[in-house]
Amino acid sequence: GPPLALIMTHIHRGILKYVYNFLSSAGAKYGVGFWKPGSGIIHQIILENYAYPGVMLIGTDSHTPNGGGLGAICIGVGGADAVDVMAGIPWELKCPKVIGVKLTGSLSGWTSPKDVILKVAGILTVKGGTGAIVEYHGPGVDSISCTGMATICNMGAEIGATTSVFPYNHRMRTYLEKTGRGQIAALADEYSDLLVPDEGCEYDQIIELNLDELKPHINGPFTPDLAHPVSKVGAVAEKNGWPLDVKVGLIGSCTNSSYEDMGRAASLAKQALDKGLKCKAQFTVTPGSEQIRATIERDGYAKTFRDVGGVVLANACGPCIGQWDRRDVKKGEKNTIVTSFNRNFTARNDANPATHAFVTSPEIVTALAIAGTLNFNPETDYLTAPNGEKFKLEPPTGDELPSKDFDPGQDTYQHPPADGTSLKVDVNPQSNRLQLLEPFDKWSGNDLEDMQVLIKVKGKCTTDHISAAGPWLKFRGHLDNISNNMLIGAVNSENDAINKIKNHLNGEYGGVPDVARHYKANGVSWVVVGDDNYGEGSSREHAALEPRHLGGRAIIVKSFARIHETNLKKQGLLPLTFSNSSDYDKIRPDDKISIRGLKTFTPGKPLTAVVKHSDGTEETLELNHSFNETQIEWFRAGSALNRMKSLQH
């Protein structure tokens, strides 16, 4: 069933067998299904099996809104929120605003569904959708396939949106029928008036896009909201000193690995092959699910990709989250890659901070991989065949859905047993990848006094900066081991360095996790000070677990991304914001901070920070919070899990 599927986010073949044994045994014990290794990416599993028009579903990943392509309200949350739902506890969310995106015209030629969200990201920026649901509507919707709508909703995470959703239409009905859910399609048809915008409804903000005029886009580098038309990105790159040579083109991922995506990309690869050309750049293909892999193998797309020089990877997130053994450039070497992924933060894809990653459609990735340069506009520019012939690529084409239906491939789903109550959850005590959680300590009942500033973070600090992905993901089940990546990607305002902060107990400089551990061992509580939209990006719960585990008590910033703020509350930390954002500038890296007012901690009532400078002076600042009564109980109990356990007695 869905619940365990929802927490099976980004599990890959590389993890040792006992991790799968743990997950498999947990599913059997608690009566839920388990998708085995090789199944694919959870968001594709959801779209193909679980999402349907009108359902409300939560998942432990920021790209859970992928299901909005089927008219579902799918919201990404932290793992602790999912635990609430699985335990039958009400899940809550501050009521979001609604941003309407009215689509007119129709998609054609080189323009794809990905260009819709790339354009919207450029308009709204990485935080413009925070606290809002994005609702697409208008006559242009019908020109977009169901999986194309899913792409748009998936990448809505990059603008901070709570979720994104499309109204039910015939494209969704066809997809439901092709994926074996004809009965649901018939029911949706019967109640279709409830699955579209109400007559005369009003939006908090309206964006209008004419799809007839929309051009192919490419966003980046280093942030998914830096939007450029493909026709102009080469000139912009030259002006900014971004490498023009495309080292690698990567298509697939949870955002763009549909049958239609693969078909359109393959149509371009075939054109190149027919002229005797192969990709100048390296080229990788990541199927989003076993069903997609099997179907593109059967229908010849995978062979076309291999023939043009591509490599078809495992059904997994792969390079999108840094799980990629890249060897063509050295760490620190400046280079450009283009992907059809959703996110391109610094070092996300390959752990190299000098990699300039751009996100675009699979079609544009394929064209740029063939050309080998960012300075190529496939709508106007020519390629040269080995015989000297100049030719232009024709616009991509591809079937929305397979005419011979989907090939399900290997059966990777493990059904739960009729009764698993007698089974044990399998945790290997010798594992360095699995570690049972110990309860965090309760609030002492007193104000938090003289906490050391661990690091004052400068600029963008996503969950990838706070808890890096890539090779670290193998430790997701072992809190102490994965805590060694805490904030190692954040920029220290004191010296503009990464993972180099001063230990104020001994005067030496060290890595952020090492200094935090030293403070904890010596009974020193600490705080992190951060900038705007702190914690944007993945819903990575470890970004909240790690500071709590290593002795953190509060995170004080200008503003938070939604999921991360809730995750911090769940772990008994205090996510607080400066009443005056300029107060950020008053904090010095060697300050000690006391937080007062916790004995009368109530919703809507600010807390007070007393900031003690090393020169003996003090400042008093007001700190806002968004805690409600229930969340304050989490803080007092030490975490939401602690509070849940206390309510059982």
**DSSP per-residue string spanning 559-589:** -B-HHHHHHHHHTT-EEEEESSGGGGGG--T
pLDDT at residue 267 above 90? yes
At residue 561 the predicted structure's pLDDT band, cuts being 50, 70 and 90, is very high
pLDDT digits (tens, 9 = 90+) for 368-408: 999 999 999 999 999 999 999 999 999 999 999 999 999 99
Closest CA to 160 of 201, 122, 131, 182: 131
Using DSSP, state whether 456 is helix, strand or coil: strand
Q: Which pLDDT tens digit goes with each residue over 99-119?
A: 999 999 999 999 999 999 999
Tally of CA atoms within 13 A in the half-sphere of 215 that contains its CB = 13
Amino acid 306 reads R
- Supply the mean pLDDT for the chain: 94
Average of pLDDT values for 1-28?
A: 58
Place 16 in a pLDDT band, splitting at 50, 70 and 90.
Answer: low
Return the axis-axis angle of helices 113-124 and 146-154, rounded to nearest 10°: 20
Exposed / middle / buried, residue 298 (Cβ in 10 Å: 0-12, 13-18, 19+): middle
From residue 220, give the alpha-carbon distance in Å to each of 214, 236, 286, 339: 18, 11, 21, 10
Give the H or E element holding residue 219.
Answer: strand 217-219
Which bin fits 610, alpha (ψ -120 to 50), beta or left (φ > 0)? beta
pLDDT at position 19 is 79
- Structural contact between residues 188 and 173, judged by C-beta atoms closer than 8 angstroms: yes
446 exposure class (CB count in 10 Å sphere: 0-12, 13-18, 19+): exposed
Domains and CATH numbers, the chain: 38-213 (3.40.1060.10), 217-381 (3.30.499.10), 448-647 (3.20.19.10)
Please state, in angstroms and rounded to a whole number, the distance separating the CA atoms of residues 252 and 313: 9
Task: Say whether pLDDT at 649 is over 70.
Answer: no
- Sign, CA dihedral 300-360-463-482, equals positive
Does the structure show a pLDDT above 90 at 478?
A: yes
Phi, psi at 63, each rounded to 5°: -100, 15
Collapsing DSSP to helix, strand or coil, 289 comes out as: strand
Tell me the β-bridge partners of 560.
534
In this structure, of 77-86, 303-312, 355-364, 506-515, the range with the lowest mean pLDDT score is 77-86
Using the predicted structure, report yes or no on whether residue 211 has a pLDDT greater than 80: yes
* Nearest Cα residue to 568 out of 602, 599, 593, 540: 540
Q: What is the pLDDT of residue 590?
A: 96
Residue pair 482/472 in contact by the 8 Å Cβ criterion? yes
Give me the pLDDT at residue 157, please: 94
Mean pLDDT of 38-57: 96
What's the token pair of residue 347? 């070092």
CA 377 – CA 370 distance, rounded (Å):
12
Cα 330 from Cα 561, distance rounded (Å): 33
Q: What are phi and psi of 417, to 5 degrees?
A: -70, 160
- Quickly list DSSP for 50-117: T--TT-EEEESSTTGGGGGGGT-EEEE--HHHHHHHHTTPPP--PPPEEEEEEEES---TT--HHHHH
The pLDDT, as a whole number, for residue 2 is 37
> pLDDT tens digits for 244-256?
999 999 999 999 9
Secondary-structure breakdown of the chain: helix, strand, coil percentages, each rounded to the nearest 5: 35, 20, 45
Query: Whole-angstrom Cα distance, residue 556 to residue 268?
Result: 49
User: Of the ranges 8-22, 120-134, 187-201, 412-426, which one carries the lowest mean pLDDT score?
Assistant: 8-22
Q: Taking a C-beta distance cutoff of 8 angstroms, is the pair 591, 612 a contact? A: yes
- Phi and psi dihedrals of 195, rounded to 5? -110, 20
Instruction: Give dist(CA 585, CA 611) in Å, integer.
Output: 12
User: Alpha-carbon distance 321 to 339, whole Å?
Assistant: 12
Number of H helices, E strands in the chain: 20, 28
Pairing of strands 217-219, 497-498: unpaired
Q: Specify the amino acid at residue 29.
A: K
Token pair, residue 369, equals 């991989």
- Cut 0.85: pTM above it: no
Q: What is the pLDDT of residue 153?
A: 98
